């Protein structure tokens, strides 16, 4: 769920925990310090790539937490955790197995599109009331 206020607060807290100035974090992440300041003050929303660059520069393990706060799907490595190589054989349904094989071989833009669609489906499912029709 997108929560840009919490995202900005979290970035500021992580930056301060690492004792980085805005300029230092900017240099480490490749993101301009003025844009980081705007993110921290909830004036602009970052792209997925910016969130990943900030997470990498802050050396945090909670990259997926930051992505979710900013309204993005978790990293694809985490999304496919346990489904690499022969792990696809563990999927009982051949259609599902084929989907994951197609996903892994798709170009990045197509994978991003598939992840957006998947997140849309999950969100619709979460917002569904028990008495509503599927």
Mean pLDDT, all residues of the chain: 79
**pLDDT one-digit tens code per residue, 48-58:** 999 999 999 99
Which residues, including other chains, have CB under 8 Å from residue 8's CB and lie 6 or more apart? 39, 40, 41, 42
Q: 37 near 12, Cβ under 8 Å?
A: no
Tens digits of pLDDT across the chain (134 residues): 467 788 899 999 999 999 999 999 999 999 999 999 999 999 988 999 999 999 999 987 678 888 888 888 776 554 444 444 444 445 566 766 677 777 777 787 888 888 888 778 877 877 776 665 65
3-state DSSP: the chain helix, strand, coil percent, rounded to 5?
A: 65, 0, 35
What pTM value is reported for the model? 0.56
Residue 64 confidence (pLDDT): 83
Residue 81 confidence (pLDDT): 45
Could you tell me the end-to-end alpha-carbon distance of the chain, in angstroms, rounded to an integer?
A: 22
Kindly state the tokens that stand for 19: 């004792």
Give dist(CA 1, CA 87) in Å, integer: 29
Residue 88 confidence (pLDDT): 47
């Amino acid at each position: 769920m997108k929560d840009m206020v919490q995202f900005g607060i979290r970035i500021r807290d992580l930056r301060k925990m690492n004792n980085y100035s805005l300029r230092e974090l900017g240099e480490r992440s490749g993101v301009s310090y003025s844009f980081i300041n705007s993110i921290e003050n909830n004036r602009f929303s970052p792209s997925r790539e910016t969130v990943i660059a900030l997470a990498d520069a802050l050396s945090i393990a909670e990259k997926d937490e930051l992505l979710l706060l900013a309204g993005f799907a978790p990293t694809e490595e985490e999304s496919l955790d346990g489904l690499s190589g022969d792990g696809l054989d563990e999927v009982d349904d051949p259609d599902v197995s084929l989907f994951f094989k197609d996903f892994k071989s798709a170009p990045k833009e197509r994978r991003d599109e598939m992840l957006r669609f998947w997140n849309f489906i999950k969100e619709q499912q979460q917002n569904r009331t028990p008495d509503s029709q599927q």
